[in-house]
Amino acid sequence: MAKGTIKRFDFRKGFGFIVDDKTGEDLFFHKTAWQGNGPIRQGIAVEFVSKESEKGPQADSVIPLDGGKASKKKPSGKPAKPASLEERVASLESSLRTWKVLTLIALTGVVLALVTVL
């Protein structure tokens, strides 16, 4: 397996690029190739299988070198690193989906109550 670093990842489109440590070549990868438990972030060291696709070099079976597990370091007393813009947008999108579902359920309840009264 080759080693590299995630150069860029677009969470909305679900793909990114890995820089191969040996060749410096950029390899495309899709989120379905990710085999870690955590989020995909820029700068994470990974192992991967390199293959050729119709559009050029591609990384498959992308595994974070730390196993995708959160580190078990003791708190250092420093404040936590602020969430990235991508993480904030993803959180807002998730909250919006939840809000839409709850609103739909509430409206359904109101309509059923009105139908029952009439």
Residues 18, 45 within the same domain: yes
Residues 59, 87 within the same domain: no
Distance CA 88, CA 95 (A): 11
**Residue 69 covered by a domain:** no
**Residue 75 covered by a domain:** no
Residues 7, 56 within the same domain: yes
- Per-residue pLDDT tens listing for the chain (118 residues): 899 999 999 988 999 999 999 999 999 999 999 998 888 988 999 999 999 988 889 999 999 987 544 334 444 555 656 778 888 888 888 889 899 999 999 999 999 999 988 8
**Residue 41 covered by a domain:** yes
Domain span at residue 100 reads 82-118
The enclosing domain of 49 has a CATH number of 2.40.50.140
Q: Give the total number of structural domains in the chain.
A: 2
Distance CA 46, CA 60 (A): 11
* E strand segments, 1-118: 2-10, 15-20, 26-30, 45-53, 56-64
Nearest to 10 by CA among 104, 86, 98: 86
Distance CA 53, CA 7 (A): 19
